[in-house]
Homo-oligomer: A and B are copies of this chain.
Amino acid sequence: MTATPSRRAGGRAARKASRAAPLSDAMRPIRPGMEGGRYRPLTDTDMTNIHNSVLDALEQIGLADAPQSGVDYLTGAGAIQGDDGRIRFPRALIEDTIAKANREITLFGRDPKRDMNLAGAKVHYGTAGAAVHLVDIEGKNYRHCTLQDLHDAARISDVLDNIHFVQRPMVCRDITDNYEMDLNTLYGCTAGTTKHVGTSFTDPSYVKGALEMLHLIAGGEDKWRERPFVSNSNCFVVPPMKFATESCQVMEECIKGGMPILLLSAGMAGATTPSTIAGGIVQATAECMAGLVYVNAVKPGHTAIFGTWPFGLDLRTGAMTGASAEQALLSSGCAQMHKYYGLPGGAVGGIADAKLPDMQAGWEMMCSNVMAGLSGLNMVYEAAGMHASLLGFCLESLILGDDLIGHAMRCVRGIEVTEETMAVDQIRQVCIGGPGHYLGTDQTLARMESDYVYPALGNRMSPKEWDENGKPDLIANAIARKEQILSNRSAARFDPMVDAEIRRRFNIHLPA
């Protein structure tokens, strides 16, 4: 019989071995879905005032341009179409919708361990967007992005602990046919990760083919409907206060097919929303509320994420900026309104205006990511990899984003205050007749892994060690990590029979 050394008896070697072993999920210092909400940019009065403004806007201004099917659904639910064609929403209809909407949302992964529950102030981070460039970091170059780039982004995200979902971050510009592009986008993402995937269909007629592919992947329509692992991002409004006719029709098809909906209102402060932060929040909230009425009119209780995505604008130039301080406030304020309603919601965080993953990118990405998390935003979209105000996606930045988001998540976890953590007894033991320091105490060792987050690529060496180690470069290390991930066989690949059947029915542009 071999004696198993106990933790204490084994000394340094045993402690080292124990440290090298992966932590159980319960012990991990951070995990998806930690509760935020300690940052509240709005007072209670602010929230009530915003809510009342939202009700006013919906009742008095309403939304134009609903498709006829939408007009029928909405007026059937109690909305009123005016002579000007706008759909207006009585206050009681909004209050009813808030009360009845589904707030017990789980977004499923192909792997059930990767499901995300969006209750309360549980926070998740992931990719999103529709970048048209890949940032080629070695050439400092922006080039058209491809299906392969998208698939690589999904594969990389699949192995990064702190990327919790993969909404398609790039447009496949190497596919010219829109239907093939949408279907290959779906394939490229889902074949790369078993985490929840988000995508967006450009035409209502494309949804049928997409569902056919999803049924194949799931192993049947019933299995798909039981655990839909792909959601559709619907830009259902053209701000200010107009329905996006075609996107609404896509939405109706997705709802019928059992696909969760991200109700996405993407205004720009000073262009398509008021220039004030409060005005941006009011309008985005009003628009998403109209969308929520719509979804619940099509199918009561259908899974919908309240996607208030107002963006910032550089008012000097009229150009988009996704990285401003105003952006961080817009998203955090929206998150607090989601909590006010108790509705699962999402907004943007983590976008850089910087073209490359430099110091500017670091500060921009952290600011909105940590504030979104602290405000309890359920879904932080665009959280990693996104540069040039959404125009470029960078795989190395995605990898570094995993460290950045882990850092933010530790902040979201917050401060545990208990008798044990306040540690007066420990202070006493150390100070009075004790060693006069806390190094190596049981309490310190016990906290080393359960309480502290360590960066994977972030460098904590002293200048001396750093020099002796050849001054490791952050970007070079991110490139190496990317190459290592992409050289491995993906664990998310489909069963070969399923894959063959998909390829038989659809023109898949990725090599098998």
Measured between alpha carbons, how far is A447 from B326 in the docked complex, in Å?
Answer: 12
Are A358 and B474 also in contact (CB < 8 A) when A274-B427, A329-B415, A417-B50 are? Answer: yes
A180 to chain B, nearest CB (A): 26
The interface stretch among A101-109, A256-264, A296-304, A449-457 is: A449-457
User: Chain B residues near A438 (CB, 8 Å)?
Assistant: 240, 270-275
Measured between alpha carbons, how far is A19 from B318 in the docked complex, in Å?
Answer: 14
| A40 close to chain B: CB less than 8 A | yes
A58 to chain B, nearest CB (A): 10
| A10 close to chain B: CB less than 8 A | no
The interface stretch among A89-97, A146-154, A460-468 is: A460-468
The interface stretch among A71-79, A207-215, A221-229, A406-414 is: A406-414
User: Chain B residues near A422 (CB, 8 Å)?
Assistant: 49-50, 53, 276, 278-279, 282
Measured between alpha carbons, how far is A46 from B461 in the docked complex, in Å?
Answer: 34
Q: Enumerate A276-314 residues with CB–CB distance to B below 8 Å.
A: 276-279, 281-283, 314
Are A275 and B448 also in contact (CB < 8 A) when A354-B459, A415-B329 are? Answer: yes
A464 to chain B, nearest CB (A): 8
Measured between alpha carbons, how far is A183 from B397 in the docked complex, in Å?
Answer: 46
A162 to chain B, nearest CB (A): 12
Are A276 and B421 also in contact (CB < 8 A) when A415-B329, A463-B133, A474-B358 are? Answer: yes
| A99 close to chain B: CB less than 8 A | no
Measured between alpha carbons, how far is A41 from B36 in the docked complex, in Å?
Answer: 10
Measured between alpha carbons, how far is A437 from B238 in the docked complex, in Å?
Answer: 11
User: Chain B residues near A333 (CB, 8 Å)?
Assistant: 415
| A367 close to chain B: CB less than 8 A | yes
User: Chain B residues near A157 (CB, 8 Å)?
Assistant: none
| A177 close to chain B: CB less than 8 A | no
| A198 close to chain B: CB less than 8 A | no
Question: Once the chains bind, are A417 and B354 in contact (CB under 8 Å)?
Answer: no
Q: Which residue of B lies closest to A353 (CB)?
A: B460
Query: Among the listed B50, B414, B444, which residue makes an inter-chain contact with A275, where contact means beta carbons less than 8 Å apart?
Result: B444
Query: Among the listed B43, B447, B459, which residue makes an inter-chain contact with A360, where contact means beta carbons less than 8 Å apart?
Result: B459
User: Chain B residues near A60 (CB, 8 Å)?
Assistant: 424, 428
The interface stretch among A121-129, A166-174, A388-396, A489-497 is: A388-396
| A404 close to chain B: CB less than 8 A | yes
Question: Once the chains bind, are B274 and A443 in contact (CB under 8 Å)?
Answer: yes
Question: Once the chains bind, are B316 and A454 in contact (CB under 8 Å)?
Answer: yes
- Bitwise, A49-88 to B at CB < 8 A (1) or not (0) is 1100100110011001000000000000000000010100
User: Chain B residues near A191 (CB, 8 Å)?
Assistant: none
Are A423 and B360 also in contact (CB < 8 A) when A326-B410, A463-B388 are? Answer: no
User: Chain B residues near A323 (CB, 8 Å)?
Assistant: 460
Measured between alpha carbons, how far is A314 from B362 in the docked complex, in Å?
Answer: 21
A458 to chain B, nearest CB (A): 5
Are A427 and B241 also in contact (CB < 8 A) when A422-B50, A447-B275 are? Answer: yes
Measured between alpha carbons, how far is A325 from B373 in the docked complex, in Å?
Answer: 13
User: Chain B residues near A355 (CB, 8 Å)?
Assistant: 459, 461, 463, 466, 471
Query: Among the listed B57, B61, B415, which residue makes an inter-chain contact with A46, where contact means beta carbons less than 8 Å apart?
Result: B415
Measured between alpha carbons, how far is A466 from B355 in the docked complex, in Å?
Answer: 8
Are A278 and B423 also in contact (CB < 8 A) when A357-B359, A414-B329 are? Answer: yes
Question: Once the chains bind, are B391 and A451 in contact (CB under 8 Å)?
Answer: no
Q: Which residue of B lies closest to A142 (CB)?
A: B463
A36 to chain B, nearest CB (A): 11
A76 to chain B, nearest CB (A): 24
Q: List residues of A whose CB falls within 8 A of some B CB.
A: 19, 38-43, 45-46, 49-50, 53, 56-57, 60-61, 64, 84, 86, 133, 140, 142, 240-242, 270-279, 281-283, 314-319, 321, 323-326, 328-329, 333, 353-355, 357-367, 370-371, 374, 388-389, 391-392, 397, 400, 403-404, 406-411, 414-418, 420-424, 426-428, 430-432, 436-439, 441, 443-445, 447-448, 451-455, 457-463, 466-467, 471, 474-475
Cross-chain pairs A/B with CB under 8 angstroms, 14 sampled: A38-B39, A50-B417, A240-B427, A278-B421, A314-B460, A325-B406, A325-B410, A329-B411, A329-B415, A353-B458, A357-B359, A358-B358, A359-B397, A359-B475
Q: Which 4 A-B pairs have the closest CB atoms?
A: A362-B362, A325-B410, A279-B423, A274-B423
